[in-house]
Structure 1
Amino acid sequence: MTLRDASIVVAGAGSIGCYAGGCLALAGRKVTLLVRPRIEEALLRGGLRVTDLEKRDRHLGQAAFAVETRAEAALDGADIVLVTTKSGATEEIGRQIAAHAPAHAIVVSLQNGVDNADRLASTVDGRRVLAGMVPFNVVQQEDEIPFRVHRASEGTVLIERGASGISSLLNVEGFATTTHADMRSVQWGKLLFNLNNALVALSDLPLATELSDRHWRLLLAAQIAEALTVMKAAGIKPGRVAGPPPALLPTILRLPDFLFLRLAKRMLAIDPQARSSMWEDLQRGRRTEIDELQGTILRLAVKSGVRAPLVERIAGLVRDAEERGQGSPKLSAGAI
């Protein structure tokens, strides 16, 4: 078997996973999507439509990929497993990989957070695990037929070096992929950007609208400043993901609107309707990744003896919204 013929399973295929799997299947890769029953039903009705910020609009009939809701059926024979589950499901999908995937399978974590690859490695019974990072936002339109996933921002997927040919296999149109020598620093850098997910979820605003408003940017800047202080105390240096170095982010975000809109065009290269996965989780009444994002900073703050009061407040507001189960609370920046 050549690597090009590898069987790729996307485990936990929601928005990111269906987008990744769709791009790979369009490029002729052998793809199985392990999905929830709700998504299976949508895919079996009309296939998958993959669109993006660059105006590509591509459709796959259901024959172009396999769909499974049972882990044992999806993972049997997998050569590569792309894990796109939410962080809360990491150990469970790891146990399923250990039980059902071949021993030679390579596992790639394409999840938010900084420790999912380590958590997978502790559960997949010796299989090789690579850390990865997806820098862009994907939204799903499940009410459309065919089921549509739309990449609403730009960026190149990064994966850990160490498995020859994997990045070339995954580097396809619409899903640019390359390797990186220091994924740990990249993941900490991505975490800084992901602190904004909670603000989008709490505000109910599209991402581009929220970032264009200095009131919201000041909240993001303050969160990032607290996180940088905590990371410095812990001896962690976050890596540059895209755009300016992490240390400059608070300064740039605090600029007046007219300057920010002029200088941060790449940051604002986002589909007007894009929101965050945390917003989507609140709308669907699901557990969010607040413990893996703001929660990571708060746990590190306790260990380092540093306070992060705004990060703590925002985490509390998201947890309150989770408990109410009524979607986004639609707060104003002033209320936060």
Structure 2
Amino acid sequence: MNGPIVVAGAGSIGCFVGGLLAAAGRDVRFLARPRMVAELQAHGLTLTDLEGGDRRVPATSLSVTDEHATLAEAGLILVTVKSSATAEMAESISRHAKAGAVVVSLQNGIGNADRLRALARGQRVVAGMVPFNVVHRGEGRFHRGTDGSLTVEAGVPGLVTELLVPGLVVAEHPDMAGLAWGKLLMNLNNALNALSGLPLRQQLADRRWRLVLAASQREALELLAAAGIVPARVGKVRPWLLPRVVALPDLLFHILAGAMVKIDPEARSSMWEDLEKRRPTEVDHLQGALVELARSLGRDAPVNRKVMEAVKRAEAAGAGSPGITAESLGA
């Protein structure tokens, strides 16, 4: 990987991961939209986490641009754009990046690495996964509110070493396609959190919302089984057990969840942030991926379809999170 690291899509995940790399002395260039370029040039980066970490990268130490030509120098490109922008970024990488550059998809949803590969011209595309949640607090401040290891496809020499810096746990995995579906099962809660308007911990403490999540996950697992897709485990619970754990009574769930995952009291999903900032969400690539899978099998996915439709109504309303109840969702 000869050349700097370019973060292609400096949003919440891109700024947090890229910021940790920059704080550790890596040569990092941030490719961002003009709004984020202005913010980072004015404030630099402040990166905090639920373990109490606090790292800062001053604006004078940051290389930030909205010019895609910066991709030409990259030895490693971390793609952190929303799934809906993957095709556009793939075209830009194909146009600008040099042959031999390693391109890592650190995105939600299914098939993003394949979309990048379809347009690659000599670049090596690697699937990756970011399990943790990052909230953008404004003025260059980004807070990681959940835990987990950044995971990349196995078999790329030097990649883990390049990414392994203080504050960032990195692992390899042999089945990134299965891992992507496993993560999607977890990410089905993103939309529910966005619709509720509650902090993640508070929303998951409400069994009424957990029952909707469990129904979404059961429906997803049935579709995956019908399609012959085996999701890989993300975290400490096997995929087929997720709906059972999520649907447990409050006391049992709180005991088990406390041992499974750490959630900051302020953590919220990226989809909630998208609604609040009046941006398009990734629901088409989460619940929507299951609706499409069901259609390909000649089936319906009523629970996930209703959740997707509710998010799309909230997007169209442009008023932020609707703050609805689980009962009013009708899923």
Which TM-score bucket, shorter chain as reference? Answer: over 0.9
Match for 2:55 among 30, 55, 58? 58
Secondary structure (helix, strand or coil) at the match of 2:143 reads strand
Q: Does 1:130 pair with 2:126?
A: yes
Distance 2:269 2:260 in 1: 15
Q: Deviations over 1:195-217 (max 9, x none)?
A: 10000111101111111110100
Q: Normalising by structure 1, what TM-score?
A: 0.95
- 1:104: which partner in 2? 100
Match for 1:295 among 288, 292, 298? 288
- 1:46: which partner in 2? 43
Distance 2:110 2:122 in 1: 20
Contact conserved, 2:3 with 2:73, CA < 8 A, in 1? Answer: no
Contact conserved, 2:98 with 2:122, CA < 8 A, in 1? Answer: no
Aligned partner letter, 2:53: R
Aligned residues with identical type, % of pairs: 50
- 1:286 is displaced (CA, Å) by 1.2
- 1:124 is displaced (CA, Å) by 2.4
- 1:311 is displaced (CA, Å) by 0.6
Q: Does 1:139 pair with 2:111?
A: no
Q: Deviations over 1:129-184 (max 9, x none)?
A: 00000000001111x4xx11111110001101232011111011111112111111
Secondary structure (helix, strand or coil) at the match of 1:28 reads coil
Distance 2:259 2:322 in 1: 29
Secondary structure (helix, strand or coil) at the match of 1:9 reads strand
Residue 257 and residue 268 in structure 1: after superposition, are their counterparts in 2 closer, same or farther (change >3 A)?
Answer: farther
- 1:27 is displaced (CA, Å) by 1.2
Pairwise CA RMSD: 1.2
Contact conserved, 2:182 with 2:239, CA < 8 A, in 1? Answer: yes
Distance 1:98 1:334 in 2: 47
- 1:94: which partner in 2? 90
Contact conserved, 1:84 with 1:111, CA < 8 A, in 2? Answer: yes
Secondary structure (helix, strand or coil) at the match of 1:200 reads helix
- 1:6 is displaced (CA, Å) by 3.6
Secondary structure (helix, strand or coil) at the match of 1:269 reads coil
Distance 1:58 1:288 in 2: 29
Match for 2:273 among 260, 277, 280? 280
Distance 2:48 2:207 in 1: 30
Aligned partner letter, 1:22: G
Secondary structure (helix, strand or coil) at the match of 1:81 reads strand
Q: Does 1:150 pair with 2:143?
A: yes
Distance 1:247 1:108 in 2: 28
Q: Deviations over 1:284-326 (max 9, x none)?
A: 1111111100011111111123332111100111111111111
Distance 2:222 2:298 in 1: 11
Distance 1:149 1:323 in 2: 27
Aligned partner letter, 2:108: N
- Structure 2 gaps, min length 5: none
Match for 1:83 among 76, 79, 88? 79
Contact conserved, 1:233 with 1:306, CA < 8 A, in 2? Answer: no
Q: Does 1:195 pair with 2:188?
A: yes
Deviating beyond 6 angstroms after TM superposition, the runs of 4 or more aligned structure 1 residues are none
- 1:33 is displaced (CA, Å) by 0.7
Secondary structure (helix, strand or coil) at the match of 2:6 reads strand
Q: Deviations over 1:89-126 (max 9, x none)?
A: 00101111111111121100000012000001112223
- Higher helix fraction: Structure 1 or Structure 2? 2
Distance 1:237 1:124 in 2: 27
Distance 2:261 2:171 in 1: 23
Aligned partner letter, 1:30: D
Distance 1:103 1:237 in 2: 33
Contact conserved, 1:216 with 1:333, CA < 8 A, in 2? Answer: yes
Contact conserved, 1:168 with 1:178, CA < 8 A, in 2? Answer: no
Distance 1:152 1:267 in 2: 14
Map 1:299-314; keep pairs closer than 5 Å. 299-314=292-307
- 1:252 is displaced (CA, Å) by 0.7
Residue 124 and residue 266 in structure 1: after superposition, are their counterparts in 2 closer, same or farther (change >3 A)?
Answer: farther
- 1:35: which partner in 2? 32
Q: 55-64 or 261-270: which moved more?
A: 261-270
Secondary structure (helix, strand or coil) at the match of 2:243 reads helix
Distance 1:196 1:175 in 2: 24
Residue 268 and residue 162 in structure 1: after superposition, are their counterparts in 2 closer, same or farther (change >3 A)?
Answer: closer
- Structure 1 gaps, min length 5: none
Match for 2:111 among 112, 115, 118? 115
Contact conserved, 1:76 with 1:101, CA < 8 A, in 2? Answer: yes
Contact conserved, 1:211 with 1:268, CA < 8 A, in 2? Answer: no
- 1:268 is displaced (CA, Å) by 4.9
